[in-house]
């Protein structure tokens, strides 16, 4: 039955098949596995696929048919799995034939050394895993230690005691780690899933630890910033003027910019470390370990080493967030003080302006009074000239009397006129 008529999402098939994008290998009893994990460091998917193509041509096999992020290449009994992840790519070499003794001929040695030397990126993790049959006699730590250059061993029974794991979590003379699986009754699919978990544990723990040097490197800078913030906060209480406020606000702004710069540079790394830590916890739980012979298990050894490093990274993130919050609070406090200072200055300015307005009003009133007197004086003078003229014409008998009587009339008229003029001007 066809379903072509259904309105499927464009990514429906891709998203559905994502569960099968990176299948675990199906492994036989005697198998050698080597894996390298390389940080991209700017290398593109196309460059890595091209490098795989060179290997295929060198060995006389067909190149990859596409440039997908997961390639499974078969070269007879040799299989190469390439998987590209967000930050790193893994090259897993599987050879379905174990050597007589563990780690004598690693699977990685079956690939051309010149091709390996030109791998795109930088190796962050490398490990050899070999699967051998569980001895009839109970495995002895002393007999196994020779395969790990005499280092102290980490060992446990896994998956209901169906297999035994051995490792030292040490780098050997080829700069690679080693894990020995002694299989009792695990089927090929269970072996593949177990190897997948172990390979992911090796890669994820190294990817997690990338954040640890960064956290230690940031510690002095964060301590210095904390001291600067404490100094600025103390100076806020001793501010004496707007100049001090602006200086401290500028210092806080600079400090906030430095914090945000650090957060932008480290946020991805620390977030990735948190994700890798959770994945490691999940993979360890999937081993279902049981202790034997007093040796440390994977679940005991790895968290004891990784958890302090992870907590250091988490503490650094918390310190960054705490500094950012404290800077915000100090900035708000300082801005509040500046606002209050500006408000007080504005109040003083308004008060001074009010006082100047009152003085101006009084001066205006005084000027108006003088104006009434001056205008009245000149008006009375006009009346006097008019009265004397009328007296010379014998039309007025007493000019002085008329002049004197006109004084209050002129004053009243001028005063009334000035008052009406002021009303007209809205005063």
369 & 339 share domain: no
| 153 belongs to a structural domain | yes
Does residue 17 form part of some domain?
Answer: no
pLDDT in tens, 132-170: 998 888 778 888 999 999 899 999 999 989 999 999 999
Q: What angle do CA 80, 83, 89 make, to 5 degrees?
A: 105
Q: How many CB atoms lie within 10 A of CB 365?
A: 10
The answer to whether residue 5 is domain-embedded is no
**Percent of the chain predicted with pLDDT > 70:** 94
Q: Over range 68-95, report the average pLDDT.
A: 91
Tokens describing residue 201: 């544990």
Last-in-domain residue among 321, 348, 375: 348
Q: What is the pTM of this model?
A: 0.78
Residue 58 shares a structural domain with residue 91: yes
Q: What pLDDT does 425 receive?
A: 63
Shared domain for 284 and 406, answered yes or no, is no
Same domain? 81 vs 49: yes
The strands making up 31-39's β-sheet, listed across from edge to edge, are 70-75, 78-84, 88-95, 31-39, 122-133, 177-183, 163-167, 154-158
Coil, helix or strand at residue 239: coil
Do 395 and 329 lie in a common domain? no
154 lies in the same domain as 124: yes
Confidence of residue 205 (pLDDT cuts 50, 70, 90): very high
How many domains does the structure of the chain reveal? 3
The strand ranges marked E within 134-194 are: 154-158, 163-167, 177-183
Pair 229, 343 in one domain: yes
Residues 154 and 176 in one domain: yes
Could you tell me if 174 and 86 lie in one domain?
yes
| Residue 129 and residue 215 in one domain | no
Q: Find the domain containing 372 and state its range.
A: 362-424
Q: Which of 127, 124, 91, 321 is nearest to 211 (CA)?
A: 124
Is 113 inside any structural domain?
yes
Please report whether residue 55 resides in a domain: yes
334 and 373 co-located in one domain = no
Q: Are residues 303 and 403 part of one domain? A: no
| 289 has pLDDT over 70 | yes
**Domain presence at residue 412:** yes
């Amino acid at each position: 039955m066809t379903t072509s008529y259904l309105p499927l999402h464009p990514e429906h098939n891709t998203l559905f098949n994502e569960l099968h994008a990176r299948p675990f290998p199906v492994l036989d009893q005697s198998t050698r596995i080597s894996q390298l994990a390389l940080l991209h460091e700017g290398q593109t998917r196309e460059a890595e696929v091209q490098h795989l193509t060179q290997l295929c041509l060198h060995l006389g096999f067909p190149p990859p048919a596409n440039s997908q992020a997961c390639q499974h290449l078969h070269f007879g009994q040799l299989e190469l799995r390439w998987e590209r992840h967000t930050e790193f790519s893994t090259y897993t070499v599987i050879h379905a034939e174990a050597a007589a003794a563990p780690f004598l001929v690693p699977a990685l040695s079956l690939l051309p050394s010149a091709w390996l030397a030109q791998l795109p990126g930088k190796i962050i993790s490398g490990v050899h895993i070999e699967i051998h049959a569980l001895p009839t006699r109970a495995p002895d730590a002393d007999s196994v230690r020779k395969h790990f250059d005499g280092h102290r061993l980490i060992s446990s029974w896994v998956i209901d005691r169906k297999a035994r794991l051995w490792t030292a979590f040490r780098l050997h003379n080829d700069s690679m780690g080693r894990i020995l699986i002694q299989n009792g009754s695990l089927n090929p699919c269970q072996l593949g899933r177990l190897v997948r978990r172990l390979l992911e544990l090796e890669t994820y723990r190294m990817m997690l630890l990338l954040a640890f040097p960064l956290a230690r490197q940031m510690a002095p800078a964060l301590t210095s910033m904390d001291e600067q913030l404490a100094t600025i906060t103390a100076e806020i209480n001793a501010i004496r003027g707007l100049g001090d406020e602006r200086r401290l606000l500028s210092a806080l702004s600079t400090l906030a910019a430095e914090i945000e710069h650090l957060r932008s540079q480290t946020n991805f790394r620390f977030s990735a470390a948190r994700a890798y830590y959770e994945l490691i916890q999940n993979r360890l739980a999937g081993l279902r370990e049981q202790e034997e012979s007093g040796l440390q298990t994977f679940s005991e050894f790895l968290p004891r080493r990784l958890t302090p490093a992870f907590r250091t990274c988490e503490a650094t993130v918390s310190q960054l967030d705490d500094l950012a919050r404290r800077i915000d609070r100090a900035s708000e406090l300082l801005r509040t003080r500046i606002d209050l200072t500006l408000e007080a200055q504005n109040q003083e300015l308004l008060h001074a302006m009010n006082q100047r307005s009152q003085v101006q009003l009084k001066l205006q009133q005084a000027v108006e009074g003088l104006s009434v007197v001056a205008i009245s004086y000149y008006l009375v003078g006009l009346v006097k000239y008019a009265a004397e003229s009328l007296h010379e014409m014998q039309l007025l008998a007493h000019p002085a009397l008329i002049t004197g009587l006109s004084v209050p009339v002129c004053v009243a008229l001028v005063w009334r006129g000035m008052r009406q003029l002021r009303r007209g001007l809205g005063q």
